[in-house]
Structure 1
Amino acid sequence: MKKHIGVILLLSFFWVTSCDSHFEELNTDPNRAGASVFDPNLILPTASSSYGNMMSGYTGAILFQSMWIQALASTSTGGANYYSNADKYVISGSTNSYIAGVWNSGYSTASRIQQMQKLAQTKEMANLAAVGGIFKVLTVSFISDVYGDVPYSEALKADEGITQPAYDNQAQAYLSMLAELEASLNILNTSGDQIRNDVIYRGDITKWKKFGYSLMLKMAMRLSKKDPSAAQAWVQKAVAGGVFSSPADDALVPGDEANGYSNASANALNVPDDIYEVRWSKVMIDYLKSTNDPRLRIVAEVPNPGLAANRTGAPGNSDPAVQIGLPNGFDLRGGQFDISKHPDFPGGTGTGDDLAPIGAYSRPSGIYRNRNAPVFALTYAEVQLLLAEAALRGWTTGSPSDFYKNGVMGAFTSMGKFGGQTVSPEEATAYLNANPLNLSSMNASMKMINEQIWATTSLFANFVEAWNNWKRSGYPELTPVNFPSNFSSGQIPRRQPFPNGETSLNTDALNSAVARMGGDDWITKMWWDGGN
């Protein structure tokens, strides 16, 4: 990989001329274009938006992980045949481009952050540089969780003459990233420089500290199967430092459609073909129904009858009783995989030219089509559920049941941040009374906690995180799709292959990484992958 980081294109950072409540107005002077006077705070909102785009929409999450993890499903036989990558593990025309999405977007974001850090350091903006360190670890760890071994120690150093960086062994990279994260957190000081133009925490240093330690917790738990002693040590550091303490601490990247910063997943799910083709998986709907989960009425709807209605965002029927999930791995081509031949097929809706063959299956509700909805980067709910598992393992004090309860309550509370309906306190209490953490055995508890992480992160549209935690924990127990000509030997993909461009741009480093990992296909396990 060649990373050419040249002179900052400063004018590209002057990207907001007027903003709503999400993005503050940035008054820029065209005469202040030199690096010596440029305010690096102006880079932060662009980096934040870029990170949100990386983890959502067509960059990969919707087209791969959303259906690998069996949260969503698609027949992918109409205009949106690109969902064959996700639902059936089958190549589509742009698969190679999709594979490279996280890589290209991630390193572009990390490069921008690196420049922000360097400028901040020259101006003695220690807090901004430290936030950059946290953000860089957040970004590169995301890339690593998707591909495995990736450039880290030598990455982003083209200005130092390193244009073909080595790929770091993921085991060592994770420990190095955790160390960099800790060093950045130690620098943050509420009495230091003020962070401006911060669309995530409005410059609140205390919240950035909580976010950094919560990220540390999540990364530590990634190591639970491969390096439990290191995992325990880093969990304890994170807890001592202070993780999220309420849903008010959620790390959300706001959407801002008016200024061109729409939620990328919402952009995808507003395409007429996608509105029709993308449905909730049977696995997800059955899970929510099995416990009378109050989120079901908020997240799912059966479209109004007919093809025209199925291709628009008009609100459908959100009654939990009528919701039915689409099984993964089916099409509408008349063969053995035709969904109409499934014994539980509910039938289409409409007639004649207005027939919608899959019209009776549940689709994501209107909250997922809201272009101003935030991207959920990391939440109090996920942190509390991870603490529940850590407590079960004896890595932190506290009651696993209490952490689990806090996580579920947090998940219900944060659903309202999409801008739609909310779960009432009475509904949440009733749910938890009926579904307390199963403490009959370690396996029963682990299963319940990690299934809740899967559901919660998926319902927040953070499908990559749901997939990563499934790889780590093995929960939920999923049955793979084995569609003809699939690219993963009938197994749920464990990673994305490296982008084709790396073969010519950074050949030796790439080959070393592939040899170390044992392959470069969709089912090669990365180092920390300890699931089934």
Structure 2
Amino acid sequence: MNKRGLWCYFFVSTVLLSACTKNFDKINTDPNATTADQFNPNFLIAQAQLTYSQTGYSQLLFQSMWTQSLASTFAYYGNGDKYVQSGSFNDYIGRVYSEGYVSETNAQEAKNLTESKSQYANINKIATIMKVLTLQRVTDTYGDVPYSEAGMAKQEIFFPKFDKQQSIYNAMLSDLEVAVGGLDETKDKPSSDLFYGGDIAQWKRFGYSLMLRVAMRLTKVDEATAKKYAEKAFAGGTMQSIADNAKVKTDNANGYPNAIVNALLTTDDFREVRWSKTLIDLMKQSADPRIPAIAEITIGDGKAANENEKKPGDNTFALQLGLPNGYDLNGGATDITTAPGYPGATPADASLDKDSPAPLGKYSRPRLQVYYTSTDNFNPVDKSTINMVLTYGETELLLAEASTRGWNTGVAATHFANALHANIASLAQINAAAAIKTEDENAYVSAHPLSPATALQQINTEYWVETSTMFMFNENWCNWRRSGYPLLTPVKYPVQFDTEIPRRVIYPITLAATNPNGLASGVASLAGGDKFSSRVWWDK
């Protein structure tokens, strides 16, 4: 190449290079990308709420049966029913952790996007409340977990420290006090709020009710702090009626199916998951009018009838029978046919080819018309189902307990009666088919006043019944660990990972690779090591 050609080459190259450099940012920017200034943080609040509420197998396989709300002969549920490793064990020990931090990350990002922006003042506070709601479940399940550094990958914190649970609880109470106190009904309202449709007054009552629940978790380890914040919550104003119940409506018709319903409609689950004998027996002893609202037995004989998810059952009170925990269908010493009081199988339907008997056909399952309506089987117009999050009834029970302890939270007997009314009436919010006659509700409440001599047992046993019938099994398990009520007998079964009812879930196995230092710190706080029998800080 001669000098003139070489000069031309460098000239053209320089021009092209300078042109590319000048437009580098523009060329390498996605024109369809959304920036922080453009993104609506309301969507993140809604996503955090939905994720938090969609518990599905993450509470069905463990918590629902550890507390003997449900029972199952199906091997997949051995984790919960019998304390035996089964049913994707390593996956499900991590579900509360992974789902919790997905929800928390959405809440934290909503906080990031709304910080110091007056037009989103309430959204910012609600995001904090959502963070507390979500991470209380996570820390209650495992023990020490990330809180102060959670959801801070943008700040390049990729291995968040595991905060001590005592520190987490102190931070949650402090964060709630600031957040709820900062809510202002004259300012912005969330536009994608699945709980309350943007009602800030209800968010205040929710925030104070959550503060009460957080505070009451400390009754065994820090009564002074529990009392302080329970009284603050009561003075601030907790939920006032079932209209304040926090719930998420899922809608199968619009692509948001219910995770719990989807799990239980799996053929084996539907055929073999039943209400526990412990629950049904206890409710029958008190002639609880909720039994026909929540339970039914299969109508018809044989396996085909027992698997028919489109045919409602018989909800007659006298026919309901709970399945005892700890049995299987394996034909050995723990086969359900060996259980005391076994009612016998429903025989095969002779009119059907190749039908077989149904060993569980006479045991009570959750009522289809109440808990399963997100499918096409009943109501072709409304395919929605409700996930309950926190209720007025729970709140009144906690206030009743606080008052029983001598704290300034009102009259215990009044709170307890309010709770009974609320817990019965709230079932109709799940589905109108569960509505109970007002006269039956009133008669039950009148027949079960709070007795000072047995108040703690009454209050916390009712808490267990309410959270069982509302399918809130995570909270059910947590409050049982805290209160000790009702008195439960552990299941005995061969080759268990624990011989007592588990007090926590072991840490997800993935943490050994993704956050080994955090994991080591969390395990070090557990007196018994990383075991199901070890107790978290507040569970003494």
Alignment TM-score, normalising by the size of structure 2: 0.89
Deviation (angstroms), 1:137: 0.7
1:502 aligns to what? 511
CA distance 1:91–1:326, shift in 2 (3 Å): same
Query: Shift of the alpha carbon at 1:179?
Result: 0.5
Does the 8 A contact of 1:263 with 1:370 survive in 2? no
Q: 1:88 aligns to what?
A: 82
Instruction: Give 1:484 deviation, angstroms.
Output: 0.7
State how far apart, in whole Å, the 1-side matches of 2:409 and 2:122 are.
Answer: 31
Equivalences for residues 233-248 of structure 1 within 5 A: 233-248=228-243
Q: Percent identity?
A: 44
Aligned counterpart, 1:361: 363
- Match of 1:426? 439
Deviations 1:321-358 (A, max 9, x none): 01111110011212211110123000011227321011
Asked if 2 retains the 8 angstrom alpha-carbon contact of 1:269 and 1:368, the reply is no
SS at match of 1:326: coil
SS at match of 1:255: strand
Which range is displaced more, 367-376 or 89-98?
367-376
Report the CA distance between 1:259 and its aligned residue: 2.0
The partner residue of 1:264 within 256, 259, 264 is: 259
User: Is the contact made by 2:142 and 2:504 (CA closer than 8 Å) also made in structure 1?
Assistant: yes
Q: How many residues align?
A: 490
Gaps of 5+ in 1: 1-29
**Correspondence 1:377 to 2:389:** yes
Deviation per residue, 1:260-287 (Å, 9 max, x gap): 2222111112112111110011001101
| 1:386-444 superposed Cα distances (whole Å, 9 cap, x missing partner) | 111000001124221111100010001100011122112101111122222122x2xx1
Is the counterpart of residue 109 in structure 1 residue 103 in structure 2?
yes
Matched, 1:41 2:50: no
Query: Which piece of structure 1 moves more, 120-129 or 249-258?
Result: 120-129
1:484-499 pair list within 5 angstroms: 484-488=494-498, 490-499=499-508
User: Unaligned regions of 5+ residues in structure 2, if any?
Assistant: 1-30, 349-353, 375-383
d(CA) in 2 for partners of 1:435, 1:297: 19
- Secondary structure of 2:388's counterpart equals strand
Deviations 1:44-95 (A, max 9, x none): 2222111111xx211x21111111000100111xxxx211111101111510
Matched residue SS, 1:167: coil
Q: 1:324 aligns with which of 298, 321, 324?
A: 321
Are 2:128 and 1:133 equivalent residues in the alignment?
A: yes
The one of 295, 308, 324 equivalent to 2:304 is: 308
What SS class does the counterpart of residue 385 from structure 2 fall into? coil
Cα distance in 1 for partners of 2:156, 2:329 equals 53
| AA matched with 2:73 | T
Structure 2 residue identity aligned to 1:112 = N
Q: How does 1:98-497 map to 2 (within 5 A)?
A: 98-121=92-115, 123-124=117-118, 125-304=120-299, 305-313=301-309, 314-351=311-348, 353-366=355-368, 367-371=370-374, 372-419=384-431, 420-439=433-452, 441=453, 444-488=454-498, 490-497=499-506
Distance in structure 2 (CA, Å) of the matches to 1:259 and 1:121: 33
- Contact 1:272–1:312 (8 Å) recurs in 2: no
Give distance in 2, aligned partners of 1:128 and 1:231: 27
Deviation at 1:224, TM superposition (A): 0.6
Aligned-residue offset at 1:194: 2.4
**Counterpart for residue 75 of structure 1:** 73
8 A contact 1:87–1:329 mirrored in 2: yes
- 8 Å Cα contact 1:451/1:476 also seen in 2: yes
Q: Equivalents in 2 of 1:127, 1:387: separation in Å?
A: 27
Taking the aligned partners of 1:32 and 1:92, their CA distance within structure 2 comes to 43
State whether structure 2 residue 56 is matched by structure 1 residue 57.
Answer: yes
State the Cα distance separating 1:521 from its structure 2 match: 0.9
For the pair shown, which has the larger CA radius of gyration, 1 or 2? 2
Are 2:108 and 2:151, in contact at CA under 8 Å, matched by a contact in 1? yes
Structure 1 residue 178: deviation in Å? 0.8
Q: Tell me, in whole angstroms, the C-alpha distance in 1 between the residues paired with 2:196 and 2:128.
A: 16
Using a 3 Å threshold, how does the CA distance of structure 1 residues 285 and 93 change in structure 2: closer, same or farther? closer
CA contact (8 A) 1:387 1:396 kept: no
8 Å CA contact 1:49, 1:261 repeated in 2: no
Match of 1:354, SS? coil
Report the Cα distance in structure 1 between the residues aligned to 2:158 and 2:43, rounded to whole angstroms: 27
Task: Write out per-residue CA displacement over residues 494-516 of structure 1, whole angstroms, 9 at most, x where no aligned residue.
Answer: 11111001011111221122112
Question: Is the partner of 2:221 in helix, strand or coil?
Answer: coil
The Cα of 1:121 is off from its aligned counterpart by 2.0
Distance 2:341 2:117 in 1: 64
Segments ≥4 residues shifted beyond 6 Å: none
Stretch moving more, 333-342 or 404-413: 333-342
One-letter identity of the residue aligned with 2:82: K
1:133-191, CA deviations, whole angstroms, 9 ceiling, x for partnerless residues?
A: 00011111111111111111122112212111111110111011110111111211011
Q: Is the 8 A contact 1:134 1:181 kept in 2?
A: yes
**TM-score of the superposition, structure 1-length normalised?**
0.90
The letter for the 2-side match of 1:322 is L
Q: For the residues of structure 2 that align with 1:511 and 1:135, how far apart are their CA atoms?
A: 28
Matched-pair contact (CA < 8 Å) for 1:298–1:365: yes
Q: Which residue does 2:16 correspond to in 1?
A: none
Name whichever of 121-130 and 499-508 sits farther off: 121-130
Which residue type is aligned with residue 111 of structure 1? T
